[in-house]
């Protein structure tokens, strides 16, 4: 199963013959601006890159924090999710530096309807996607409808932390759980 098919992107061209080409096409279609990190916005150069992607000061930006990946990881739970929601700098997830910060839990979205949550995502300047279990996050991106919404968000910045970054890479597909697998591109 390819990365694109994991997200259920029906506009993908099945004639493309490599994972890399399909993934490149997915990222092009997704349109979001990506800042993929292992540990978040933890130093001045990453922070500068974020400000450049945002095109305005962080203090003028609305953020949505997505902690969903944590629920799928055996080392995470209510306390670690709470830390993301009320964290302090330098993590910049919900620091006071943002104009506003909301919490978007992908597992809840299918039960509340798109008419409520899609405007929240469209109004956000940045999606702060935390770490945890990347395959769990991938599943809920599809189930919630967020993966389908990404192509319509060309001005939105996706800040990935660990799994929040991995979910936007080609290894999230069939070879992701196999660390010794060789990628064919």
Q: What is the pLDDT of residues 135-179, one digit of tens each?
A: 999 999 999 999 999 999 999 999 999 999 999 887 665 555 544
* Position with higher pLDDT, 20 vs 100: 100
* Domain annotation covers residue 17: no
* Position with higher pLDDT, 30 vs 149: 149
CATH code of the domain covering residue 113: 3.40.50.880
Residue 94: the pLDDT is 52
Which stretches within the chain are classed as H helix?
A: 3-7, 19-30, 44-54, 68-71, 78-86, 109-112, 114-123, 134-144, 146-149, 163-166
Asked if residue 156 lies in contact with residue 120, where contact means CB atoms within 8 angstroms, the answer is no
pLDDT confidence of 81, banded at 50, 70, 90?
Answer: confident
Q: pTM to 2 decimals?
A: 0.76
**Which domain range does residue 82 map to?**
41-163
Provide the number of structural domains found in the chain: 1
* Domain annotation covers residue 122: yes
**Hey, is 24 helix, strand or coil?**
helix
pLDDT confidence of 8, banded at 50, 70, 90?
Answer: very low
* Domain annotation covers residue 9: no
* Domain annotation covers residue 110: yes
Pairing relation of β-strands 126-129 and 62-66?
parallel
* Domain annotation covers residue 11: no
Q: Is pLDDT at 24 greater than 70 in this prediction?
A: no
pLDDT confidence of 34, banded at 50, 70, 90?
Answer: very high
The secondary structure element, H or E, covering residue 95 is none
* Domain annotation covers residue 24: no
* Position with higher pLDDT, 53 vs 29: 53
Residue with tokens 């990506």: 34
* Domain annotation covers residue 183: no
* Domain annotation covers residue 180: no
Bridge partner residues of 37 (DSSP): 161
Residue with tokens 């302090």: 88
Percent helix, strand and coil across the chain, each to the nearest 5: 45, 10, 40
Q: What is the pLDDT of residues 84-143, one digit of tens each?
A: 777 654 455 556 688 998 999 999 999 999 999 999 999 999 999 999 999 999 999 999
Task: Kindly list the strands in the beta sheet with 100-103, ordered across the sheet, starting from the edge strand earlier in the chain.
Answer: 33-37, 157-161, 126-129, 62-66, 100-103
Residue 41: the pLDDT is 86
């Amino acid at each position: 199963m390819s990365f694109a098919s994991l997200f259920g992107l029906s506009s993908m061209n099945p004639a493309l013959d490599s994972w890399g080409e399909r993934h490149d096409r997915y990222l092009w279609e997704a349109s979001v601006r990506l800042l993929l990190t292992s540990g978040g916005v933890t130093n001045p150069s990453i922070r500068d890159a974020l400000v450049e992607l945002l095109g305005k000061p962080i203090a003028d930006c609305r953020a949505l924090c997505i902690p969903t990946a944590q629920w799928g990881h055996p080392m995470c739970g209510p306390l670690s999710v709470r830390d993301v929601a009320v964290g302090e700098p330098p993590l910049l997830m919900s620091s006071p530096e943002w104009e506003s910060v909301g919490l978007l839990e992908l597992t809840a979205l299918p039960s509340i309807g798109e008419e409520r949550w899609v405007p929240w995502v469209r109004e956000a300047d940045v999606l702060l996607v935390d770490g945890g279990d990347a395959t769990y996050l991938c599943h809920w991106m599809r189930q919630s409808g967020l993966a389908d919404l990404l192509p319509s968000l060309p001005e939105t910045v996706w800040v990935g932390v660990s799994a929040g970054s991995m979910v936007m890479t080609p290894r999230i597909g069939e070879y992701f759980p196999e660390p010794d697998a060789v990628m064919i591109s």
